[in-house]
Amino acid sequence: MKKQMLSCLIAAAAAFSASAVAQTYPTKSIRMVVHFPPGGPTDLVARTVAQKLTEAWGQQVIVDNRPGAGGIVGVENVVRAAPDGYTLLFATGGSMAVTPAVGTKLPYNVFTDLAPISLVVINPQILVLHPSLPVSSVRELVKFAKSKPGQINYASVGPGSPQHLGMEMLKAMAGIDLMHIPYKGTAPAMTDLLGGQISLMFNSMPSVLPYTRTGRLKGIAVSSAKRSAAAPEIPTVAEAGVPGFQYVTWYGVFAPAAAPKDVIAKLNAEIVRGLSDKAVAERLLREGAEPAPGTPDALAKFMRAEYEQWKKTIAVAKLKLD
């Protein structure tokens, strides 16, 4: 009986201590690790979130860029940090779902070594074609591709990238055969797409909308489940001919797994509040990013679903990416 009472007292003391920490948190600056270099889209969205947290709490949220090894360096840095809520990870869906699904040997487990805080944004991709391709819709593309199996090429920014896997998913679901041409980045892929050396690709809205609106490229569908607010005139792949198709790139915020739950809840509430700001939402939409904050549990479920989706795509396409 005495042991039981002692255990209860210890548990109560721990709960009180955690609650007290959350009430005063943060009492110093917070480090937000971004696993990409400064200046890119991931970094820009991370700095938007960091700025809103800084304004809300009066404590500096410092973006710490830790690129390397396809994001592994930055993620591992956070996994090994003190789980006190003062080191956060701003991560992409590529690192949290695609890389694990590919089977890359990682020095951590994204599902057990990190605590989800909130999804931040989703980035629908646009399926764009060079004007020389004689099709104007997904249905026409599928019909044309079936008449020329393996003769139409598409670009990605590298093997295992979301653009690559998204197109492989489309191939599998539509029953078509396209030739993959990988590039080392968006810029060279876009150069060849605009020049007609490449026929089509999935790419982000900021990269392609200026060209679709001037007629240099044809934007025939968006990859998300719903039409994008940034380009509502463009149908989804699912409604344009391939039912059930859906893929997006995304960003989320995480902490080391043992971070106090009350601190996680406080971070979540402030991130959700910050992303609900009209000016912030408009700024992100201009970058092709749609605010999508939610609960930690929602992010955990979303990440797991993304992992399973990419794992299935890789298996069906028989891709060897490791």
pLDDT, tens only, 31-75:
999 998 998 889 999 999 999 999 999 999 999 999 998 899 999
301 is a domain residue? yes
260 is a domain residue? yes
The CATH number linked to 176 is 3.40.190.10
Is pLDDT of 290 > 70? yes
CB 159 within 8 A of CB 132: no
7 and 117 in a common domain: yes
Mean pLDDT of 123-148: 96
200 and 60 in a common domain: no
212 and 295 in a common domain: no
The rounded distance, in Å, linking the Cα atoms of 61 and 47 is 9
Report the mean per-residue pLDDT for the chain.
91
Which pLDDT score is estimated for 286?
Answer: 83
The rounded distance, in Å, linking the Cα atoms of 64 and 33 is 5
132 and 186 in a common domain: yes
Runs of H (alpha helix) within 154-259: 162-174, 186-195, 205-212
Say which range, 157-161, 243-247, 306-310, 311-315, has the weakest mean pLDDT.
157-161
240 is a domain residue? no
Instruction: Please state, for a pLDDT cut of 90, what percent of the chain lies above it.
Output: 77
114 and 26 in a common domain: yes
136 and 110 in a common domain: no
Using one digit for the tens of pLDDT, what is the confidence trace for 10-26? Answer: 544 444 444 556 789 99
Number of structural domains (the chain) is 2
Question: Helix, strand, or coil here: 47?
Answer: helix
174 is a domain residue? yes
Which pLDDT score is estimated for 5?
Answer: 59
73 is a domain residue? yes
252 and 207 in a common domain: no
What is the sign, positive or negative, of the torsion defined by CA atoms of 291, 275, 256, 92?
A: positive
Which pair of tokens denotes residue 146? Answer: 């079936």
| Domain-ending residue, one of 206, 222, 238 | 222
297 is a domain residue? yes
pLDDT band of residue 104 (cuts 50, 70, 90) is: confident
Amino acid at 252: G
144 is a domain residue? yes
CB 266 within 8 A of CB 257: no
Using one digit for the tens of pLDDT, what is the confidence trace for 67-88? Answer: 998 899 999 999 999 999 999 9
89 and 180 in a common domain: no
Is pLDDT of 133 > 50? yes
Question: Helix, strand, or coil here: 25?
Answer: coil
110 and 147 in a common domain: no
**Entry pTM:** 0.86
Mean pLDDT of 248-255: 96
Domain that holds residue 146: 124-222
299 and 151 in a common domain: no
Which pLDDT score is estimated for 2?
Answer: 56
Ramachandran assignment for 192, one of left (phi > 0), alpha (psi -120 to 50 degrees), beta (any other): alpha
| Domain-ending residue, one of 205, 222, 239 | 222
Runs of H (alpha helix) within the chain: 2-24, 41-57, 72-79, 93, 99-102, 138-147, 162-174, 186-195, 205-212, 261-275, 278-286, 296-317
119 and 256 in a common domain: yes
198 and 279 in a common domain: no
| Domain-ending residue, one of 204, 222, 240 | 222
Which pLDDT score is estimated for 90?
Answer: 98
